[in-house]
Amino acid sequence: MLNLLNTLFFLLIVLPLKKLEDSCPNCGSNRLTKNGSIHNKKPKYGCQDCGHHFVKNSTKIWITQQQKELIDKLLLERISLRGIARVVGVSWRWLQNYINKKFEQVPRQVKVLDKPKVKLIIECDELWSFVDHKNNKYSLLTYL
């Protein structure tokens, strides 16, 4: 009887928990293969059914939409990028890439207004070129 209870416990409790832990987050399949490791030595897995590659218990931090809206508001306040990164809790590199992507989405339209063409009149004489010269150490009054 005890052996039957242990078997039922294993089949009903332990096995489903293990399947949830060892399943593909994309399709839910249990056909996984170990596919190397990432830079911090965590094992990387690949799903044989859908081809999805993933890391179990990933520590990747996702930036929420509320954080992005806060970043947009802080950018309008002209706060430094490093200050915004500290306040929101994102890396400076991610923030710079986010701003670059936002900048690429802005249409580049340059509006040049045509100035009316007028007749240009210039009046100059020989003293204008002589007095206005920067290397001239004497004033105009010494020559007059």
Domain that holds residue 21: 12-55
Residue 142 within any structural domain of the chain: no
Residues 69 and 47 in one domain: no
| Number of domains making up the chain | 2
Residues 44 and 21 in one domain: yes
Residue 114 within any structural domain of the chain: no
Residue 34 within any structural domain of the chain: yes
Looking at residue 61, what is its pLDDT?
78
- Rounded Cα–Cα distance for residues 112 and 133 (Å): 35
Residue 128 within any structural domain of the chain: no
Residue by residue, pLDDT tens for the chain (144 residues) are 656 666 666 556 655 544 445 788 888 888 888 888 888 888 899 998 898 888 887 777 788 999 999 999 999 998 999 999 999 999 999 999 999 999 999 888 888 888 888 887 776 666 555 555 555 555 555 555
Q: Which of 44, 26, 24 is nearest to 36 (CA)?
A: 44
Residues 34 and 69 in one domain: no
pTM of the model: 0.45
End-to-end CA distance of the chain: 127
